[in-house]
Amino acid sequence: MSHVLLIRALEDAIPLASYLEALGKKALCYPLFEPIFFAIPPLENPQALIITSKNALRALNNSNHLKKVPLYVVGDQTAALAHQLGFTTVFNASGNSKDLQNLIVQQALPEEGVLYYLSGRIIKRDIVRELRALGFKAQRQVVYQTNYIERFSNSLITDFFNKKISHVLFFSPRTTELFVDLVKTSKLEKEIALNKALCLSYDIAEKAQEILWKEIWISPHPSTHNMLGYFDDGK
């Protein structure tokens, strides 16, 4: 039986693997990166926290004093993790970073305290700059960095050659770009052309299109639930 390749961090990949196994699919977890968390400095006069990744949330796991501060998150999975970690007030945009910005503008107050965007070193959208342009007090604080692998393991390369993998799931532009680079480095383009790429959004699909696939599928909504919905009809 072919496997669905999950390249997310293990904390995120293992629950996905369990879901796929329940659907009768085989999953292979192969993280392309590892998050390194930083100590959280004092945040002065926070009106709210802004989170666009689950790793940023995990960096706050031991900062119990911040869990009573209102929290704006980008999507359903991040919201679920926030509740699991004990955050008491969570506003969920249930979409992308633009939806998140719109939610903040609707609910936050420019005359109140600082909106702190807690993120990794690399971000896709500078929401702080955009909020400042709209009159809000906003600051960005880097709370983790991501260390990426430099090459595929021999075992994964062998799995591709042996046609053990049928689908690859992509949840971010950066990891998709890295995967494509590693495919080229490993000279696996012919093997990848037999696989299907499942992408969370159009910008991720654009990165995947740098190499040839059997199919590139884009989730109808940028959520993990919709991504996994691809397999609900037995695909």
Q: Give CA–CA dist 102/171, Å, rounded.
A: 22
Q: What is the average pLDDT across 188-205?
A: 95
Rounded mean pLDDT, 19-35: 92
| Cα–Cα distance measured from residue 61 to residue 218, given in angstroms and rounded to the nearest whole number | 32
- Beta-bridged to residue 90, according to DSSP, are 71
First to last CA, the chain: 13
Mean pLDDT of 174-186: 96
Amino acid at 179: F
Closest CA to 115 of 72, 57, 53: 72
| pTM for the model | 0.74
In a shared domain, residues 83 and 117: yes
**78-122 confidence digits (pLDDT tens):** 999 999 999 999 999 988 888 999 999 999 999 999 999 999 998
| Claim to verify: residue 65 and residue 141 sit in the same structural domain | yes
Are 28 and 60 part of one and the same domain? no
Same domain membership, residue 178 and residue 112: no
Structure tokens at 157: 């390369």
pLDDT at 226: 87
pLDDT of 1 over the 80 cut:
no
d(CA 99, CA 95): 6
Looking at every residue in the chain, the average pLDDT score rounds to 93
29/63 same-domain check: no
Spatial distance between the Cα atoms of 224 and 234, rounded to a whole number of angstroms: 17
Please say if the pLDDT value at position 24 is more than 80: yes
Mode of pairing for the β-strands spanning 33-37 and 138-148: antiparallel
What CATH number does residue 105 fall under? Answer: 3.40.50.10090
pLDDT tens digit string along 131-145?
A: 999 999 999 999 999
Range of the domain at 66: 42-145
Q: Is 47 in the same domain as 95?
A: yes
Q: Is the pLDDT of residue 234 over 80?
A: no
For the chain, what is the domain count? 2
Of 131, 60, 53, which is closest to residue 96 (Cα–Cα)? 53
